[in-house]
Amino acid sequence: MKDSLRQSMALFHTWSGLLLGWLLFAMFATGTAAYFQDEITRWMQPEVTGDADPATAAQGAMRYLNSVAPDAKSWYISLPNSRSATTQVYWQPSGERPAKRVETSALLDRGGHAITSRETRGGFFLYRFHFDLHYMPVLWARYLVGVAAMFMLVAILSGVITHKKIFADFFMLRFGKGQRSWLDAHNVTAVLALPFHLMITFTGLVTLASMYMPWGIAANYAEQTAFSEAVFGRSAETVPSGRHAPLADLGPLVRNASARWNDERVGYISIANPNDAAALIEMSRAPEAAFGARGQTATFEGATGRAIGTHQATGSALATESVMIGLHTGRFAEWGLRWLYFLSGLGGTVMVGSGLVLWTVKRRARLSDPSCPHLGFRIVERLNIAAIAGLATGIAVYFLANRLLPLEMVDRAEREIDSLFLAWLGIGLWGILRPAGRAWTEALAIAGACFAAIPLANAMTTSRGLLPSLLAGDWTFVAFDLVMLVLAAGFLLAAVRSAQLRTKAKAGAKPRGANRRATSA
């Protein structure tokens, strides 16, 4: 009975893990990078230095928006947090014409001047890719990501049942033993950060739960806007009066809101009908101030700056959701905890990657003719190369493109993103065209070389290379370059190992793992 449960779970674990494993790998890798999205953005905008004060930034953003879109329907200002130095603004133009994103958004420095040089989406792109993917409608992407996360949850739970020695093997990591080593790596990365994996997968689903399961809201509210109004106190649509009235200064209002929240930072400002007598300003507390992602909001009359009131979404369900999203995104984490988040995420990435490789390693031993595997095997093998080495190379090339593309290039930010996917595609094709064993070695070596090239490109194209940053005590830049070097070393080591294994196999050794009965999945 017990064994049959284990066997069915093994089957379940193998296939739920494999089917969307490649997507999960990409989600884990980019999600892990997203814990440092502000630091990545800083590195990708080396011209921007120093910290920004929210009140000054808000005032600057207002100056900018008054000059480009004084009669917009609404403005949105995302203020710098304690780790970033730039302000992101969006606006909804007054005309009916739908506008492209690049025409209605801008990235500002702390004085409110648009940053036009070295246009980039920085770490924010990796963060959005984590759940919005790219080159496809956001809605589809989020459903796909949701299905993948659900599979992940299933794979984690069935995995704990399947790997019967997961706790007995808690500390076991044996190198150079073929399949056994892959299983060890998979087990160890899974079990060591098991609380993190469970938390991150479950809370990941919660972040988009009301999209995946809209029926609760649909059954109780006629429209989504009625729900947000009731719960978040947001007025669905304020009607402009048509009378012009200049907007009150935002700087003092930011300080006012901040003072209400024990001097916590304001994170986000939305303004309906700016420069109209009926303008309304809503400020939200920065998410870094507490576990809960949904903080308090304070509302002000736009023309007079008079405070209307503060609002905090109440109710235990909302508080739970808010804390779960907060736990997932880790915005509250100070640097020590942030590194723990990052390392756990890296562990998760390795867990998914080693699981994918394990699928082929286990089956290679049982192939009737290892030199000519069946189609399914070949597909998985090639997709593994594309997913693991391909994405790694893509991310490295994204950073390289940021340093190497001409600074004043048109649509530069988009070209950086295209570089990522071109490199990814390139490695994918390489994996198809070359013999699988060689393709692994070569693709891993390319990934390693690209990561190693990043600190070099940084030192040659900016004045903030590793050495000057070290001397200046600029730890963000130092850490970024060092992480790139560690990744480079990791990938190059993997390339060397895979080359060694190939020569060993060629020397007439028995196929790896052939003499070992598969102990568990």
Partner 1 sequence: MMHILPATVIVAGFLALAASMKRHQRDLLGRLLTHVQTRSTRMAGWFLLGIGWAVNAALLGPAMGTIVWCGELSLGAALTVTTLNWRTRRPSR
Count other C-beta atoms under 10 Å from residue 222's C-beta. Answer: 8
Number of residues in contact with partner 1 under rule CB under 8 A = 22
Nearer to partner 1, 169 or 418 (CB): 169
Query: Does 341 engage in binding with partner 1 (CB under 8 A)?
Result: yes
291 or 377, CB closer to partner 1? 291
Distance, in Å, from the CA atom of 388 to the CA atom of 378, rounded to the nearest integer, reads 15
Using rule CB under 8 A, residue 347 touches partner 1: yes
Q: Which is nearer to partner 1, 73 or 197 (CB)?
A: 197
Helix, strand, or coil (residue 90): strand
Query: 203, 323 in Cβ contact below 8 A?
Result: no
Measured distance CA(41)–CA(135) in Å, rounded: 21
Binding residues for partner 1 restricted to 363-392, rule: CB under 8 A: none
Which residue from 50, 98, 309, 336 is in contact with partner 1, where contact means CB under 8 A? Answer: 336
CB of 197 to partner 1, least distance (A): 10
Which stretch, 17-25, 207-215, 337-345, 426-434, contacts partner 1 (CB under 8 A)? Answer: 337-345
Q: By C-beta, is 191 or 266 nearer to partner 1?
A: 191
The span of 144-152, 191-199, 424-432, 501-509 binding partner 1 (CB under 8 A) equals 191-199
Distances (CA, A) of 464 to 45, 159, 326: 11, 45, 33
Three-class secondary structure of residue 44 per DSSP: helix
DSSP classification of residue 110: T
Q: Is 489 in the site for partner 1 (CB under 8 A)?
A: no
Q: Quick one: 168 or 471, whose CB is closer to partner 1?
A: 168
Min CB(169)–partner 1 separation in Å: 9
Q: Per residue in 359-376, is it b (16+ CB within 10 Å) or e — as a string?
A: bbbbbbbeeeeeeebeee
Q: Return the number of the residue (256 or 520) whose C-beta is nearest partner 1.
A: 520
Three-state SS for 401-436 is: HHHHCCCCCCCHHHHHHHHHHHHHHHHHHHHHHCCH
Entry field: residues in the chain: 521
Q: Which of 270, 295, 258, 328 is nearest to 88 (CA)?
A: 270
Whole-number minimum distance, CB 350 to partner 1, in Å? 11
Stretch touching partner 1 by CB under 8 A, among 104-112, 188-196, 219-227, 386-394: 188-196
Give the nearest distance from C-beta 183 to partner 1 in angstroms.
14
Among 337, 379, 467, 518, binds partner 1 (CB under 8 A): 337
Q: Which residue in 4, 97, 175, 406 binds partner 1 (CB under 8 A)? A: 175
Q: Does 257 bind partner 1 (CB under 8 A)?
A: no
Residues 283-302 that bind partner 1 (CB under 8 A): 291
Nearest-approach distance from CB 34 to partner 1, in angstroms: 17
Q: Are strands 297-301 and 105-108 parallel, antiparallel or unpaired?
A: unpaired
Report the C-alpha gap between 424 and 389 in whole angstroms. Answer: 8
Interaction of residue 343 with partner 1, rule CB under 8 A: yes
Shortest distance in whole angstroms from residue 406 CB to partner 1: 42
CB of 337 to partner 1, least distance (A): 6
Asked if residues 342 and 126 have their Cβ atoms less than 8 Å apart, the reply is no
User: CA–CA separation, 353 vs 384, rounded Å?
Assistant: 8
Residue with smaller CB distance to partner 1, 344 or 402: 344
396, 451 Cβ separation under 8 angstroms: yes
SS3 state at 290: coil
Give the separation between CA 387 and CA 403, rounded to whole angstroms.
Answer: 24
Q: Which stretch binds partner 1 (CB under 8 A): 223-231, 281-289, 334-342, 439-447?
A: 334-342
Query: Does the protein bind partner 1 through residue 278 (CB under 8 A)?
Result: no
**Does residue 173 bind partner 1 (CB under 8 A)?**
yes
From the list 47-55, 333-341, 371-379, 439-447, the region that binds partner 1 by CB under 8 A is: 333-341
The one segment of 56-64, 169-177, 203-211, 398-406 that binds partner 1 by CB under 8 A: 169-177
- Dist. CA 301–CA 331, nearest whole Å: 29
For partner 1, the binding residue among 340, 405, 492, 499 (CB under 8 A) is 340
Smallest distance, Å, CB 198 to partner 1? 10
| In the complex, least distance from residue 10 CB atom to partner 1, rounded to whole angstroms | 24
Token look-up 């699988």 returns: 436
* Spatial contact of 495 and 385, defined as CB atoms under 8 Å apart: no
DSSP letter, residue 87:
E
The answer to the question of residue 201 lying near partner 1 (CB under 8 A) is: no
The closest of 365, 32, 452, 320 to 179, measured between CA atoms, is: 365
Dist CA 268 CA 234 (whole Å): 14
The pair of structure tokens assigned to 364 is 């290679």
For residues 206 and 108, give the distance between their C-alpha atoms in angstroms, rounded to a whole number.
Answer: 32
What's the maximum distance between 2 C-alpha atoms anywhere in the chain?
86
The reply to whether 316 sits near partner 1 by the rule CB under 8 A is no
Task: Pick from 1, 101, 135, 171 the residue near partner 1 by CB under 8 A.
Answer: 171
34 token code pair = 């997203």
Where does this chain bind partner 1 (CB under 8 A)? 168, 170-173, 175, 188, 191-193, 195-196, 199, 291, 327, 336-337, 340-341, 343-344, 347
